[in-house]
Structure 1
Amino acid sequence: MARLEGVKAAKTKAEEKEKMEFQSFWEIRQKDFTLKTTLDKQKLLESLVVKFGALSELEMQLKNKLITDLLA
């Protein structure tokens, strides 16, 4: 017994919809990861700026790198 002609088309349409939903979800996750990374860098920079006392050479390099990354 053969399937109706529209069954394959409906199945393909459903698969395409799932694929589009997955791509949309993946794009949202990538944007979220980028925002979280930026926020983490900002928090780290803030902790270095607020720190009392002199910063070590390594901390100064990190601070300068974070400033450069956030302004780029």
Structure 2
Amino acid sequence: MPSVNGEDEPMARPMGVKAAKAEAKRPVGEEGKNLQELRQMWEIKAKDLIMKDKLSKTKLLDSLLAKTEPLSELE
């Protein structure tokens, strides 16, 4: 059966809303690599935050140990 506009091949139907959303969520090719890079950056950031927290606690401890006068109740 020929199409309406006189061509031999019928036109393909457009992608539905649900199919388009599923396609957008599926990591394929480059998108999969980007997801893996993002996870690696997140792990590095988490390790960095842990190290900053330890360093902050160490600095606080050093400052408290450096004091010669008695500590207040708050300290």
Q: TM-score range by the shorter chain?
A: 0.5 to 0.7
Which residue does 1:55 correspond to in 2?
71
1:32 pairs, out of 48, 52, 62, with 48
Paired residues, what number?
Answer: 49
Structure 2: tracts of 5 or more residues without a match: 1-26
After TM superposition, the structure 1 = structure 2 runs for residues 56-71 of structure 1, keeping only pairs within 5 Å, are: 56-59=72-75
For structure 1, list consecutive stretches of 5 or more residues without a partner in the other structure.
Answer: 1-10, 60-72
Poorly superposed stretches of 4+, deviation over 2 Å = none
Residue 12 in 1 paired to residue 28 in 2?
A: yes
What is the distance in 1 between the residues matched to 2:41 and 2:29? 18
State the Cα RMSD in Å: 1.2
Higher helix share: 1
* Amino acid aligned to 1:57: E
Of the two, which has the highest radius of gyration? 2
Question: CA–CA distance in 2 between the matches of 1:44 and 1:20?
Answer: 37
Q: Tell me which of the two structures has the higher relative contact order, counting C-alpha pairs closer than 8 angstroms and 6 or more residues apart.
A: 1
User: Which letter does structure 1 place at the counterpart of 2:31?
Assistant: E
1:12 Cα offset (Å): 1.1
What is the identity percentage for the equivalent residue pairs of Structure 1 and Structure 2? 45
Q: Give the TM-score of the pair, scaled to structure 2.
A: 0.62
